[in-house]
Structure 1
Amino acid sequence: MRFDESLAAFVAALLPILNKETLETGWIIRDASGRLAFIADKALSADERSQAAIAVKTSLGEYCRESGCVFDNEQPGIQSVIESARVFTETINNVAVRLIDRRIVGQDWLIEPAPGWQPPAPARWVFASLKGGVGRSTALAVAATELARQGRKVLAVDLDLEAPGLGTLLIEESDKPKYGVLDWYVEQGIGSIPEEENNEFLGDMVAPSPFGRGKGLIDVVPAIGRISDDYPGNVLAKLARAYLDLPQEVGQSLGFLDRTQKLIDELASRRQYDAVLVDARAGLNESTAAAILGLGADVLLFGVDTPQTFAGYRYLLAHLKKFIKPDDDDWWLRLRMVHAKASPDERRKQGFRDKAYRIFSESLYQDRPILDNDDNPLLSGISEPIYTQMFDVDSREAPHYAWPILDDSNYAEFDPLAERVQMDEGFYGRTFAGLVEGIGELIEFRENTSE
C-alpha cells in the first residue's frame, strides 16, 4: 500500500460494511503522517466498528491509525476536531467523501481562495512561477514601470524571501528602506511591533523607485532591508522564523497566509494605490500558497515551453480543483498563463497554448449545459441536457491563453538601474507587449464594469 492508493482503498474497504450513505455523511481524517480514520455522523454498533476496523487494517496495513481507524459521533472530543477542521469533498469510487487533511506544513494550501479584488480597491496582481530564471521579477518591474508611465500609483512587494531581487531592480542603493518584508514577519511574529508603532514600521519598509517618476509613482517593499545588509549573518536565522504559525486561541493559530493578507492589506491602505504587484516565491511552498490563494489577486503563472513547466502546473491545478464549487465566484478565472521567453513564431506560441489548454481542461474547465431551446431545431425536443466545454483552445479570455513575453537577449542580464534604457517604453514595448497590454486591458475592464 502506498500513499496515492490509500484513500481509495480505505473507501473500498469500508463501503460493504458501512454503506454509501454512512460514508458520505461522515468524515475521513488523514493525519499529518498520512494515516487514515473514519468518523461516522451517527452511532455505530460494536459489530459495525469491529468489522470495519478489521477490514481497513487488513487492506491498508500501516495506513490505518494505530489508535483506531473507525469512530462514531459519540466518541469524546470528536465534535471539536470536526468543527475546527477544513473539509474538502472528494469523489472516490463514486462515493462523495468529506476529507479532513491534517498537515504540519502546507496548511495554507487548504485555505479556500480569497474573494477577488474589485474597484475601487487597487488592482492586485501576483507574479508566480514554478521555477526561477523565467523572467518573473523582470516582468513585474517592467509592468510597474508601464503602469506608472500611464499615470498610475503602483505598490510593488517582494514576497520571494529566499531569492530576493525586486529591491535591487527598482530601488537605488541610497534609497533602500531600513526594513524589508522578512523583518516584518519576524518582528510581527514575536510581537515586538506595538499597534501604535505599526504604521511607522510599515513606512520604514517602503522606498520610491526612480522608474515611477513622472506621471505616476512606484513604491517598493523589498524582501530584505538595509538592516539585513548591516547584519548579513542574521538573514538565514530570520528566514527560519518567518514562516512560523503564531499561536492564538486554544487550538487555533495564525498561519503565514493570514499574516500575508494582513501585511498586504496594511501596506495597500497607506496610500491610494491603483495597483499592487506581488512577486511570489518560485515553487509550490507555503509562501506561494499565501500569494496565490490569500490575496484575491489575478495570478500570472509564468513558464517556459518545457515539460517541467506543464508537469508542475498540472499538479497545482489538480489541487486547486478541490476548491471549485457551483456557487463560487469563479476565482479560477483570475489565473492566467504567461509564456516566458517565447519565440516570435506563432506556431510555437500555439504549441504552448495547446499544452496549457490540456492541463486546464482536465482540472478547472467545467462542462456547461446547453439548455433545451425550441427555437433551435438541433436542440428541440431533447430532454437530456447537452454539455459543451466552457472554453476552446483559442478562447482569448481563458486562463490557458498565454500572454507571451518574447525571448530577448537585451533582458538576459537585467540591471535597469545601471542600464536605464531597459525601462524605456520604446525598448521594452515589443518584448513585453503581450503582458503590459493584457494587464492594462483587464484593469480597464474591471474599472468600467464597476461603474
Structure 2
Amino acid sequence: MMTFDQILPTVQKALAPHKTLIARIQPVIVNRDLNGRVRLIVSDDVERDADTLAGCRSIAKELAEQLGAHAFPEEQMILFEDDMTTVLADAPGFALEGFEGVIVVDRLASEGRWASIAPISTGVPRVVFFSIKGGVGRSTAMAASAWSLAQSGKRVLVLDLDLESPGLSSGLLPAERRPTYGITDWLVEDLVDNGAAVFEDMMATSELAHDGEIYVVPAHGNDPGNYIAKLGRVWMPKINEQGKQEGWSQRLSRLLDQLEQRWQPDIILVDSRSGIDEVASSCVTDLGAGLVLMFAIDGEQTWSGYRILFEYWLKAGVVRDIRERLQLVGALIPETGAAEYFSSLKERSWDLFSDALYDEVPPGATIDELWNFDDSDEGAPHYPWPINWHRGFAALTSLHSRLEKIDPQQVESIYGSLIDGLNDFAGER
C-alpha cells in the first residue's frame, strides 16, 4: 500500500530511466499538493515537441500507476507552465536526490517554511530562543539573559513570540507596567493598515535594568481583550501596496525591522514557540537571526525532534545556510549527577550534529578543511552551553520579584555560559 513517505522513493524509481529526457527539459517540478497528491510541472515548450511530449506522457502514466491515491489521474498528471521561475517562487522546494534539475515543491496548509532560510540581518544582532519541546526553562533563561545584558549597559529588545502560550512579559514587567498593546494587536491591525495606531503603545521598559535598557514587546497588552479571536487572525496574509500577497511571517519581519529602527537596541532577543510549527519556523528561519539557541534536555523526545528538523534541512539542501547559526543549550542541568548528565547530553548532541550537520571527513582530509568539530571542542555548536537547575528560577511568574533582589553572582552561576555566549555574539556584530 502506498503511503506519503513512499512518494519520493517511488518518483525517483520512475524517473531513473528518463534522466536524459529530464536533463533536456529541466527544470521539472514534482508538485505535492495540500492533500499529498503528485503531478509534474514542466515548461510549455514540451507541448511543442511531439517526441518530448510522448516521453513525459510515459513518465506520467507510470507515476499514476505506481503512486495510486497519491497521484492525479494520468490525463491530469502534467501541468504546462510558461514561467517556471514564478512556480518555483510560490512555495518551498528542494532538489530531488539523485536528479539534477528536478525540484520537489510542497504546497502546505500552514506557512511554515523550514526549508527557506532568510539571510542574517545586517542590522542589530538577533537571537532566537527555541526549543523542540516546552518546559525546559527557555523563557526564564531569556528573561535572565536580558536582565544580565542590560546590567552590563546594553539596550536589549525582547519579543514574546510564543503567541499561543504568552507569559515572558510577566517575568520582566509587573502588571502595572505592561503596555496597552502587544504583537498580536499589531498583526491584526496591520491587516487593515492600522498598525500605526498601536505601534507606539506596544512596548514597555523594565525597571529591572540599571545601566542599560530592557524594551519588552509582549504577545498581548495589559488587557488581552478578545485574544482568542485576534489570535485566529494573526496568521492571515495581506495584499501589500504593490498588490502582492504578504504572508504573516513577512509581516512579522517587517514589524521587527520597524521596532529595531524605532528603539535602536544593541541586541534583539526573540522568544519562539516550541515545537515544529509555523510560528517556530518564522522565528528560526525568517527573521534573520544570526544565533539560534536550541534548548535541550537529555531525553528521547528532544533528540528525536531535533533529528527530524536537522534531517529535513539536510534533505532540503539548506544545511549550509542554517548550521553556523545554531548553538545547543543544555537546559536544567540537575544538581545531583551533573557531570554524568552533561557528559551524556554532550555525547547525544555530538552524535546528532555529526550525523546531520557536520561535513564528513574523508580519508586524508583534516578537520580544518571542513565544517566539522571534535566531540570535546567547547567552541563547537553541539557543545552545550549549560544552564544549571535552580529552585528559585524554576517558575517564571516569580522571576520579576526575584530579579529585583538577586545577586548578579547567582545569575552568573546559573546562566553564565549562556550570557557569555550572548555577549560574544553581540561583540562580533
Kindly tell me: are residues 387 and 38 of structure 1, through their superposed partners in 2, closer, same or farther at Cα, counting changes over 3 Å?
farther
Q: What residue is the counterpart of 1:180 in the other structure?
A: 182
In the TM superposition, what is the alpha-carbon distance from 1:168 to its structure 2 partner?
Answer: 1.0
Using the alignment, how far apart are the partners of 2:382 and 2:363 within structure 1?
23
Q: What residue is the counterpart of 2:424 in the other structure?
A: 441
In the TM superposition, what is the alpha-carbon distance from 1:416 to its structure 2 partner?
Answer: 2.5
Amino acid at match of 1:58: E
* TM-score (ref. length: structure 2): 0.88
Q: What residue is the counterpart of 1:207 in the other structure?
A: 204
Secondary structure at the residue paired with 1:432? Answer: helix
Q: Does 1:425 align with 2:408?
A: yes
In the TM superposition, what is the alpha-carbon distance from 1:184 to its structure 2 partner?
Answer: 0.5
Q: Does 1:220 align with 2:220?
A: no
Equivalent pairs counted in the alignment come to 418
Q: What residue is the counterpart of 2:333 in the other structure?
A: 342
Q: Does 1:244 align with 2:236?
A: yes
Q: What residue is the counterpart of 2:263 in the other structure?
A: 271
Q: Deviations over 1:311-341 (max 9, x none)?
A: 1111111222356569x6x542111111111
Kindly tell me: are residues 250 and 125 of structure 1, through their superposed partners in 2, closer, same or farther at Cα, counting changes over 3 Å?
closer
Using the alignment, how far apart are the partners of 1:140 and 1:134 within structure 2?
12
Using the alignment, how far apart are the partners of 2:310 and 2:279 within structure 1?
17
Q: What residue is the counterpart of 2:275 in the other structure?
A: 283
Q: What residue is the counterpart of 2:357 in the other structure?
A: 364
Amino acid at match of 1:350: S
Q: Deviations over 1:281-321 (max 9, x none)?
A: 11111111111011221111112111000111111112223
Whether the aligned pair in 2 keeps the contact of 1:22 and 1:40 (CA below 8 Å) is no
Whether the aligned pair in 1 keeps the contact of 2:112 and 2:279 (CA below 8 Å) is no
Alignment of 1:320-335 (within 5 A): 320-322=313-315, 324=317, 330-335=321-326
Secondary structure at the residue paired with 2:268? Answer: strand
Q: What residue is the counterpart of 1:376 in the other structure?
A: none
Whether the aligned pair in 2 keeps the contact of 1:127 and 1:136 (CA below 8 Å) is yes
In the TM superposition, what is the alpha-carbon distance from 1:248 to its structure 2 partner?
Answer: 4.6
Give the gaps of 5 or more residues in structure 1.
373-378, 380-385
In the TM superposition, what is the alpha-carbon distance from 1:129 to its structure 2 partner?
Answer: 1.0
Amino acid at match of 1:361: S
Amino acid at match of 2:217: V
Q: What residue is the counterpart of 1:53 in the other structure?
A: 60
Which has the higher mean CA deviation after the structures are superposed, 28-37 or 38-47?
38-47
Using the alignment, how far apart are the partners of 1:137 and 1:54 within structure 2?
53
Q: Deviations over 1:194-224 (max 9, x none)?
A: xxxx2x6322001111211x21111111111
Secondary structure at the residue paired with 2:332? Answer: strand
Kindly tell me: are residues 89 and 161 of structure 1, through their superposed partners in 2, closer, same or farther at Cα, counting changes over 3 Å?
closer
Amino acid at match of 1:437: D
Which has the higher mean CA deviation after the structures are superposed, 3-12 or 252-261?
252-261
Q: Does 1:403 align with 2:394?
A: no
Q: Does 1:308 align with 2:301?
A: yes
Secondary structure at the residue paired with 2:265? Answer: coil
From 111, 115, 119, the equivalent of 1:115 is 119
Secondary structure at the residue paired with 1:226? Answer: coil
Using the alignment, how far apart are the partners of 2:157 and 2:201 within structure 1?
14
Q: What residue is the counterpart of 2:5 in the other structure?
A: 4
Amino acid at match of 2:189: E
Amino acid at match of 1:398: A
Whether the aligned pair in 2 keeps the contact of 1:148 and 1:217 (CA below 8 Å) is yes
Amino acid at match of 1:239: L
Q: What residue is the counterpart of 1:136 in the other structure?
A: 138
Whether the aligned pair in 2 keeps the contact of 1:157 and 1:279 (CA below 8 Å) is yes
Kindly tell me: are residues 16 and 69 of structure 1, through their superposed partners in 2, closer, same or farther at Cα, counting changes over 3 Å?
farther
Kindly tell me: are residues 410 and 226 of structure 1, through their superposed partners in 2, closer, same or farther at Cα, counting changes over 3 Å?
closer
Q: Does 1:292 align with 2:270?
A: no
Kindly tell me: are residues 293 and 51 of structure 1, through their superposed partners in 2, closer, same or farther at Cα, counting changes over 3 Å?
same
RMSD: 2.9
* TM-score (ref. length: structure 1): 0.84
Kindly tell me: are residues 424 and 182 of structure 1, through their superposed partners in 2, closer, same or farther at Cα, counting changes over 3 Å?
farther
From 158, 161, 186, the equivalent of 2:160 is 158
Kindly tell me: are residues 209 and 68 of structure 1, through their superposed partners in 2, closer, same or farther at Cα, counting changes over 3 Å?
farther
In the TM superposition, what is the alpha-carbon distance from 1:442 to its structure 2 partner?
Answer: 2.5
Kindly tell me: are residues 204 and 251 of structure 1, through their superposed partners in 2, closer, same or farther at Cα, counting changes over 3 Å?
closer
Q: Deviations over 1:23-67 (max 9, x none)?
A: 864221111111112234552635324422221122110111237
Amino acid at match of 2:110: V
Which has the higher mean CA deviation after the structures are superposed, 15-24 or 333-342?
15-24
Whether the aligned pair in 1 keeps the contact of 2:140 and 2:399 (CA below 8 Å) is no
Q: Deviations over 1:101-120 (max 9, x none)?
A: 22221343342x222245xx
Give the gaps of 5 or more residues in structure 2.
none
Amino acid at match of 1:336: Q
Which has the higher mean CA deviation after the structures are superposed, 336-345 or 276-285?
336-345
In the TM superposition, what is the alpha-carbon distance from 1:342 to its structure 2 partner?
Answer: 1.0
Whether the aligned pair in 2 keeps the contact of 1:353 and 1:400 (CA below 8 Å) is yes
Using the alignment, how far apart are the partners of 1:282 and 1:67 within structure 2?
41
In the TM superposition, what is the alpha-carbon distance from 1:22 to its structure 2 partner?
Answer: 5.1
Using the alignment, how far apart are the partners of 1:178 and 1:150 within structure 2?
28
Secondary structure at the residue paired with 1:365? Answer: coil
- What percentage of residue pairs aligned between the two structures are identical? 30
Using the alignment, how far apart are the partners of 1:217 and 1:363 within structure 2?
39
Which has the higher mean CA deviation after the structures are superposed, 77-86 or 161-170?
77-86
Alignment of 1:246-265 (within 5 A): 246-248=238-240, 252-265=244-257
Using the alignment, how far apart are the partners of 1:131 and 1:181 within structure 2?
23
